[in-house]
Amino acid sequence: MLEFFINNANAQAAPQQGGGSSFLIMMVIFFVIFYFMLMRPQMKQAKEHRKLIENLGKGDEVVTGGGVLGKITDVGDNFIELEIAPETRIKLQKNSVSSLLPKGTLKDL
């Protein structure tokens, strides 16, 4: 009887090998999708923000990340001075600027 169980155990087929190549292809496809859906747009947006920061100049009207609107009165290497009301100026890091407004926007507000 014991011999019957041993023969059945030896007769079972071994698991098939070769699933590694399909797994590798699936991982490559997943990385390509991840790159085009997440990484590439984020790198493009960071590049546009860097370009915006480099081109800031005196007289530009901007919005900061905190929602403060103002006109740039002075530009340094890392900081800008922003006039948010007549004779009210604050000093901010350049990176805090989120967008550039069209000229004359502050007069309309």
pTM given for the model:
0.68
Provide the domain count of the chain. Answer: 2
Assess whether 51 and 97 both reside in one domain.
Answer: no
23 is a domain residue: yes
Got the DSSP string for 44-67? Answer: HHHHHHHHHHHT--TT-EEEETTS
* Residue 50 in this model has a pLDDT that exceeds 90: yes
**Residue 20 pLDDT:** 75
Distance CA 28, CA 75 (A): 46
Assess whether 44 and 61 both reside in one domain.
Answer: no
In terms of residue numbers, what domain contains 32?
18-55
Provide the 10 A C-beta neighbour count for residue 52: 16
6 is a domain residue: no
Assess whether 48 and 84 both reside in one domain.
Answer: no
Residue 71: give its domain's CATH number.
2.30.30
**Residue 3 pLDDT:** 56
